[in-house]
Structures are given as structure tokens and as C-alpha cells.
Structure 1
Amino acid sequence: MLKEWTREIEIDAPIDYVWDLLEGPLEKMQKIMPQVVDHQPVKLTEESVGSIYRQKYKEGKRIEEYDVETLDYLNTPEKKKLKVGFTLAKMFEITALYELNSLNENKTLFKYTCTNRPLKSFLKLFMFFASDRIVVQFCERVKETAEDEFENSKFILK
């Protein structure tokens, strides 16, 4: 049983500000994914697809470690896409797809699609009741963070 959630949100910031939170250094990534405590390259490919990063994720006092593989990648001035996949705690196979479209120089359409496939039969019922709350919260956090970064950069430039 595969569960999928998709959300779109308009962000009042240039496409590169949003992209930097997804594809930039760990410090930027942590602004929208604070539980990610480490993100190190294991294997890098020239075209990015097939690249693997070892990620550490803090859940309470426990730290989970898993490999994140880049499944799809596009980086043009008007359109950007990053799709990653990983297995969490040997229990869930997860993909996250981030799609960015530049609406104008200061506005970006952000589309986030997340899939979750339980690997253990007892988790299938849990997935049946899973809501899109986490996906909605993530999109709002990306919007808020990118808009704050963009606003703050205006003050620095002055």
C-alpha cells in the first residue's frame, strides 16, 4: 500500500532562495528540516541522479542513519526539480519530490510530493489513517523560511 501526498504553495521569494534550502549546505537544509543533523556525500555523480548522501536524523534522543539517493534532478533558471528516495528504519520506503517553478523574479511555485510505502505488513493499517498534516506543515515552513531569507537579504543589500 503506497500512500502519496501532494501540496502546492506560492512563495514570495525568488526560485534560488527556495532551491538553496533544498539543495544548499546543511545549515540551510536544517532551517526547513531541523531534525537532519548530518548530510554527507557518499557517492556523487556528474548529473546528480544516482548520487547518494548519508543522512542522520534525530528523533527524540534517537538518531537514525540512512542513505538518501537522488532519483531525479533538474536545475534550470526557471524550473528546478529534486527527487530523493530512502528507507527509514527498515520500515518505510519514502520518496520526496520537490518541484520549483519561477512565476516571476520574486515569486516561486513550490510543489512537494511525498510517498510512503510501509515495508512491514503491520504498518499498512497505520498508513491508512495517516494524514497530510506533516506535508502541509513542511510546505508552510519552506514558504516562511524562504520568504524570511529573501526579506533579510534585502536589508543586507541596502
Structure 2
Amino acid sequence: MKTWTKTININAPIESIWQLLNGSLSDLQKIMPQVIENKPIKITEEVVGSVYRQKYKEGKRIEEYDVKTLNYTNELDKKILKVGFTLANMFEITAYYELNKINETETSFTYTVTNNSLKWFGKLFLLFASDKIVVEFLERVKKVAEAQY
């Protein structure tokens, strides 16, 4: 298993960043353009346990998987969303998003990804995997949130 954690400060209110992570498909696509569908399959009152069927386009290939909400906190000064899914029956992935309000116009965003290979050859792939995708995602969220704000 491999884990990457990065934090960035964003010059935008906590609520506007939260909207990108926890809003509509069109909001989600601003920071994850490859997601082409995000349909609710099971919605729970407490949000944890909710499941969404997501479709992700990589080149010409479309992957479909169920994303389960594992942790959810929506307070004024702190917001957490943790989701998990299995990609192509090869990788178990969790994504943890944590937003902390610094002040009215600045937010700290921490993003943690874990990737666990379900196949032996996937373990080799993870040996050489870098944090590049995590860094690019943080920078994309920052760019979109600051441009909207």
C-alpha cells in the first residue's frame, strides 16, 4: 500500500472549495474533468455509507466503479470527506479531503490518497508511483477555487 499526503493553502472561503468536492457533477468536473457521471446508488441520512456510481474517462476507455462515503464532517470551520473505491479490480483507493478554515477568505486543504494493489504486478507499479498526480490535483483545486472566488 502506498500513501501520499499534501497540504496547500487556498485563497478562497471554505464553503466554495467544499462545493467543488461535495457539490453537483458540474462542480466536481471543474476539478476532476475525467469524471463523466456520478449517480447516487444509495444515499444515507448521515452521508457515511452513501454510494455513488462513477464513470471516469481515461483516453477512449471508460471505467465504472462505486464510490462509497467512508467519513463525512460538515462543520463551519472544518470539512472532511473520505471516499473509497476499487478501480478495475486492481486497486483499492481511498481519497481523504480535509478543509480547515484559516479565516473568511483562506482555507487549508489537505489531500491524502492511499492506493492498495490487489494484484502482484500492481505492487510493482506502486513502487515507482510518485506524488505528481496528488500535487497536480491540489494545484487544480487551488486554481479553480481562486478563479471562482
Give the structure-1-normalised TM-score: 0.94
Aligned partner of 2:7 in structure 1 is 8
Give 1:72-111 correspondences, 5 Å limit.
72-111=71-110
Aligned partner of 2:63 in structure 1 is 64
Counting matched residue pairs gives: 149
Counting aligned pairs with the same residue, the percent is: 64
Give the structure-2-normalised TM-score: 0.99
* Structure 1: runs of 5 or more not aligned: 151-158
Could you tell me how far apart the structure 1 residues matched to 2:122 and 2:65 are?
A: 19
Aligned partner of 1:155 in structure 2 is none
Could you tell me how far apart the structure 1 residues matched to 2:102 and 2:117 are?
A: 36
2:45 is the counterpart of 1:46: yes
Structure with higher Rg: it is 1
Report SS of the residue matched to 2:28: helix
2:125 is the counterpart of 1:122: no
* Structure 2: runs of 5 or more not aligned: none
Runs of 4+ more than 6 Å apart? none
2:147 is the counterpart of 1:132: no
* 1:56-106 Cα shifts (integer Å, max 9, x gaps): 000101111000000000001100000000000001000000000000000
Could you tell me how far apart the structure 1 residues matched to 2:26 and 2:103 are?
A: 27
